[in-house]
Amino acid sequence: MEKPSLGRLEVICGPMFSGKTTELIRRIESARELGSATLAIKPTTDNRYSSYDLVTHTGQRIQASAVLNAAEILALVGELRISKSMKIVAIDEAHFFGEELSQVCATLLSWGFRVIVVGLEFDHRGDVFEPFPALFTLSNDTTRLVGICSICGNRAIHTQRMNPSMQRIVVGGVGDYEPRCEKCFAPSRG
């Protein structure tokens, strides 16, 4: 009988414009150079720039599959598992998937995958996005990236929403959000 192998979880988090997707693409590309195929996944709610690519704010891109929710990640991986070279599952915009993502990651780890999860740790109120506390407990390697505060230039860990909105998740890019340090961040009330 095959010995069950355990996977590895890497979490990359930080505010918008801190280079998270750039770091994810860098890890995917170096794994591909070593011969490991990667399934890159993003939520369908994010249709900025391109529907099926992971795209950084500076225009780097990598092909990705779009799913509606965390459960679909397992279904997709299940379908593609016949390919033995597929060893890595990369999940961008993890905050869109909610609490359910941590259970999905635990399952992927039990299947032996290297899982790389990327997303915003804090929302526009400064509260932690649900999947992250649970992901941190599963994580083998956590990278917290910081941006540059748009007001004072210090280390930014928050994402300031520039347009008032009641929704917790609003997709946007340059102009809609700014990186802010803890001192300059003004939590939205919505």
Residue 149 near Zn ion by CB under 5 A? yes
Binding segment toward Zn ion, per CB under 5 A, in 57-65, 80-88, 96-104, 149-157: 149-157
- Residues 6 or more apart whose CB falls under 8 angstroms from that of 175 comprise 162
Q: Which pairing describes strands 155-156 and 147-148: parallel, antiparallel, or unpaired? A: antiparallel
Least separation, in Å, of the C-beta of 147 and Zn ion?
10
Rank residues 23 and 178 by Cβ distance to Zn ion and give the closer one: 178
Set 93, 130, 178, 182: catalytic member = 93
Site string for Zn ion, 98-137 (x = CB under 5 A): ----------------------------------------
Q: What Å distances lie between residue 173 and 47, 76, 84, CA to CA?
A: 11, 28, 37
Residue 186 near Zn ion by CB under 5 A? no
Binding segment toward Zn ion, per CB under 5 A, in 3-11, 40-48, 104-112, 144-152: 144-152
Q: What Å distances lie between residue 92 and 11, 12, 25, 68, 173, CA to CA?
A: 10, 9, 10, 13, 15
Task: Tell which positions 153-172 bind Zn ion, by CB under 5 A.
Answer: 154
Rank residues 41 and 149 by Cβ distance to Zn ion and give the closer one: 149
| Count of residues that bind Zn ion according to CB under 5 A | 6
Query: So which residues are the catalytic ones?
Result: 93
Catalog residues that contact Zn ion under the rule CB under 5 A.
149, 151-152, 154, 181, 184
